[in-house]
Chain A
Amino acid sequence: MHNPLTILRRRLRGRDARTDGGATEDGESFLSRESVRSAPFWLPPALLIGVFVYGAIGWNVLLSLTDFTGLGTPDYGSLDFENYVVAFQGGTPSWSELTVDPIWNSLQNTVVLVVGFAAVCLVLGLLLAILVDQEIRFENTFRTIYLLPMSLSFVVTAKFWLYMYNPQTGLINIALGAFGFGPVEIVQNPDLKLAAIAFALVWQFSGYAMVVYLAGLRAIPDSHFEAARVDGASTVKMYWRVIIPQLRTATVSALVVLTVFALKAFDFLFSMYGYQPGPSADILATRMVREAYSNGNWAYGSAIAVVLFLMALAIVSPYIYSQYKRGAL
């Protein structure tokens, strides 16, 4: 029995001994290559992830090219891009007797939700982080209070915000009333719906942005603050010119997590409105579930899922690439 670890260690040691001998890899057999010898470590997880994550994604892409609806098995014999044409142009697809609306409306809502939510969340998170970073009393308590909402599930927060937005008894309307504004219909108001959802999500996730920023702030040496002060910078100027530019990594990593959360805000909307959030709050995720599970249009649902996946990829990949360029990966 060869312990893979021992093999690896012996192999590394062997290499050390040969450093000045001019030995090349040519003479080594395939089996003794480092990548092969370390296979017991990377191969099983790579296979598992390959099958269960990338395999599933690939299968979903394949499914989106079929005409699969209802029961039975998908026909992989005839693949085409009809579902994508329908998704962007509408019309009556060959697999349906009913016309299918294009996804523009839910796509637009998704983008608005993601951008609005992420931007507000980051700004709020940064402000909170700067405040908490002032070495205030009960810092840990505040940090925990701000972070707590994130530990709640979307189902809980959705029901909770349904109460908060209640025109008669909800806290939001009571607060508005204190400033002399009449009770406002929020939950089914087409002008406020999406903003109200974004607001609730901001409440839930700004604590996360705060923690990420706080870690970033703590990593900046005190000397930077002191140098800016000595040079006569005001507090605002100090943060704007010296500190915030150094929080780029924190911003990007928080942004990635937040946008991906917003793309997946399905549970929140479902708990609030059921299958039908209405035209002004319908996002791709709710549309996808409706097509797949209410109508049994599996292939079309898969096509929407692929669009959603590409959007997530478009957000994540620049981040991964920049990490890679800086050698952080």
Chain B
Amino acid sequence: MTDRKGVSRRRVLQGAGVAAVAGLAGCGGGSGDSGANSIELLHAWSDGDGNAAIEALIGGFQEAHPDVEFAEEPVNGAARSNLDQVVQNRLQSSNPPSTFQTWPGQTLNKFGDAYDDIEGDVWNDDLKNNYLEGPQAQAQLDGTYVTVPLNIHRINNLFYNRNVLDSAGVDPSSMSSPGDVVSACEQVAQNTDAVPFAQQTSGTWSTTQLWETILLSTGGIDGYEAFINGNGNRSDVKAALDSVVALSEHYPSDASSIGLTEANTMVMDGEAAFIHQGDWAAGAYSNADGFNYGEQWGQVTYPGTSGSYLLNMDSFPFLANNPSPEATKTFLSYCGTAEAQVLFNAEKGSIPPRSDADVSQLNQFQQDQYEDFNNADSQPPSVEHGLAVSPGIKTNISSAFSGFLENYDADATADALLNAFN
């Protein structure tokens, strides 16, 4: 008995050993096979419009370049920060992916040395001539082209529910300053049962992007740029905070317990009049039945910021020590074409960063935004969405707003925001 047992146990061990070796060999073989030429793209668009957009992009690329293999490995269930950690670990172990989804601009500082120059190979004259100045500046890290932006979400929007504004007697096109938004909110509060200004405050990000939008008005584009360069004018910063404080009187009473989805749904259901958001908010509207652009909802450039298109972008950078340098450059060049950007943005709800795209395939709202974009005097980068300031400063700014959400103390927060750069 014992002998037989012993033998069988040994067999099991042998079997396990063989299996383990086979498994290891399989791994090695697998990566060997897909080695030289296949692109490993890491992204966090694992569902919704983001997923549809990346699939459209990759589908289009494979049609144009059937010879290039794709080893797409989405980081599932991931928020952006988790994707960054995955990339961080890969970079630490000198095993970078071909490219990954990241915000361009100052966020590139996070993995600064890990990027390589793609001027010429990818950033040729065609791209340089057709990206506007603002987005083009965001593709560079200290003057070197390292990444290809593939979409733009606008931050300085004010969305509204037309029925609510009609019954409140508010004409959205008549507003021309942040103060007018506050007055309109008062009018909504007086004349209707709806919440004037939908907002979520459990996280800091919505408040930060609202403040930066208003700063674009109180400080103008010069004041905004001075702030993101660390030379902000205190009175501009505080005036913008004061405006947020005034708006906060008109938030839903449960703003701290809800998220963006709930806040945005309030606008769709006619329970709220306005919402300030990036134009991803419109993505939810276009999926809703009986809630149409120009009929039930509309959008204005946030009053006081006309002429600016406040940028939030995603991009694919080129990593040094690239596992598939040629294939990656082919892919990034494709991402830089108008055709690819239209495919991607039609699903994503954002607009192409190239100014020569044929946007007739995009929906009416996107076409209007695209027209605004091409007519904008300036395309300033967003603070909250990582373009304008490096990650350490952004953390300080978010910390300042986490205090602001507790007490709405504009004075203390203005000091904290200016100190964020020290």
Q: Which residues of A contact B (CB under 8 A)?
A: 70-73, 96-99, 162-163, 165-170, 183, 185-190, 193, 272-280, 282, 290, 293-297
Q: Is the CB of A188 within 8 A of B201?
A: yes
B392 at the interface (CB under 8 A from A): yes
Minimum CB distance partner of B91 in chain A: A71
Alpha-carbon distance A187/B202, docked complex (angstroms): 7
Minimum CB distance partner of A190 in chain B: B406
Minimum CB distance partner of A159 in chain B: B259
In the complex, which residues of chain A have a beta carbon less than 8 angstroms from the beta carbon of B114?
71
In the complex, which residues of chain A have a beta carbon less than 8 angstroms from the beta carbon of B394?
294
**Size of chain B's interface in residues, with CB distance under 8 A?**
39
In the complex, which residues of chain A have a beta carbon less than 8 angstroms from the beta carbon of B405?
188, 278
A70-B110, A278-B405, A294-B81 are contacts. A98–B396 as well, Cβ < 8 Å? yes
Q: Mark B182-213, 1 if CB is under 8 A from A, else 0.
A: 00000000000000000001111100000000
Alpha-carbon distance A272/B92, docked complex (angstroms): 30
5 closest Cβ pairs, A-B complex: A276-B402, A187-B256, A278-B402, A166-B257, A188-B256
Complex A-B: 26 CB contacts under 8 Å = A70-B110, A72-B113, A98-B393, A99-B419, A162-B202, A167-B253, A167-B256, A168-B252, A187-B202, A187-B256, A188-B201, A188-B256, A188-B405, A193-B406, A273-B203, A273-B402, A274-B202, A274-B204, A276-B402, A278-B406, A279-B399, A279-B403, A279-B406, A280-B406, A296-B88, A296-B391
Q: Is the CB of B391 within 8 A of A165?
A: no
Alpha-carbon distance A296/B203, docked complex (angstroms): 21
Minimum CB distance partner of A279 in chain B: B403
Minimum CB distance partner of A96 in chain B: B392
In the complex, which residues of chain B have a beta carbon less than 8 angstroms from the beta carbon of A280?
406
In the complex, which residues of chain A have a beta carbon less than 8 angstroms from the beta carbon of B393?
98
Alpha-carbon distance A275/B85, docked complex (angstroms): 14
**Chain A: minimal CB distance from B175 (Å):** 28
In the complex, which residues of chain A have a beta carbon less than 8 angstroms from the beta carbon of B402?
273, 276-279, 282
Q: Mark B85-113, 1 if CB is under 8 A from A, else 0.
A: 10010011000000000000000001111
B133 at the interface (CB under 8 A from A): no
Q: Is the CB of A99 within 8 A of B256?
A: no
Alpha-carbon distance A169/B254, docked complex (angstroms): 8
**Chain A: minimal CB distance from B2 (Å):** 10
Q: Is the CB of B256 within 8 A of A183?
A: no
Contact of A98 among B202, B392, B407 (CB under 8 A): B392
Contact of A183 among B253, B399, B406, B407 (CB under 8 A): B253
**Chain A: minimal CB distance from B225 (Å):** 20
Alpha-carbon distance A183/B254, docked complex (angstroms): 10
Alpha-carbon distance A187/B91, docked complex (angstroms): 38
In the complex, which residues of chain A have a beta carbon less than 8 angstroms from the beta carbon of B403?
278-279
B401 at the interface (CB under 8 A from A): yes
Alpha-carbon distance A183/B81, docked complex (angstroms): 35
Minimum CB distance partner of A287 in chain B: B399
**Chain B: minimal CB distance from A211 (Å):** 31
In the complex, which residues of chain A have a beta carbon less than 8 angstroms from the beta carbon of B202?
162, 187-188, 272-274
**Chain A: minimal CB distance from B411 (Å):** 15
**Chain A: minimal CB distance from B193 (Å):** 13
B395 at the interface (CB under 8 A from A): yes
**Chain B: minimal CB distance from A165 (Å):** 6
Q: Is the CB of A276 within 8 A of B406?
A: no
B398 at the interface (CB under 8 A from A): yes
B40 at the interface (CB under 8 A from A): no
Alpha-carbon distance A96/B113, docked complex (angstroms): 17
Minimum CB distance partner of A168 in chain B: B254
Q: Is the CB of A276 within 8 A of B253?
A: no
Alpha-carbon distance A102/B387, docked complex (angstroms): 27
B84 at the interface (CB under 8 A from A): yes
Q: Is the CB of A166 within 8 A of B396?
A: no
**Chain B: minimal CB distance from A6 (Å):** 12
Q: Is the CB of A98 within 8 A of B422?
A: yes
**Chain A: minimal CB distance from B174 (Å):** 32
Q: Is the CB of A167 within 8 A of B257?
A: yes
Alpha-carbon distance A190/B393, docked complex (angstroms): 24
Alpha-carbon distance A73/B92, docked complex (angstroms): 7
Minimum CB distance partner of A289 in chain B: B81
- Other than the given A97-B392, A290-B395, A296-B88, 7 more pairs (CB < 8 A) read A71-B112, A166-B258, A188-B201, A193-B406, A276-B204, A295-B395, A296-B110
Alpha-carbon distance A30/B204, docked complex (angstroms): 65
Question: Which of B84, B403, B406 lies at the interface centre, i.e. has the most chain A CB atoms within 10 A of its CB?
Answer: B406
Alpha-carbon distance A185/B252, docked complex (angstroms): 11
Q: Mark B246-258, 1 if CB is under 8 A from A, else 0.
A: 0000001110111
Q: Mark B403-422, 1 if CB is under 8 A from A, else 0.
A: 10111000000000001011
Q: Is the CB of B203 within 8 A of A276?
A: yes
Minimum CB distance partner of A191 in chain B: B406
**Chain A: minimal CB distance from B403 (Å):** 5
Minimum CB distance partner of A170 in chain B: B257
Contact of B257 among A70, A98, A187, A295 (CB under 8 A): A187
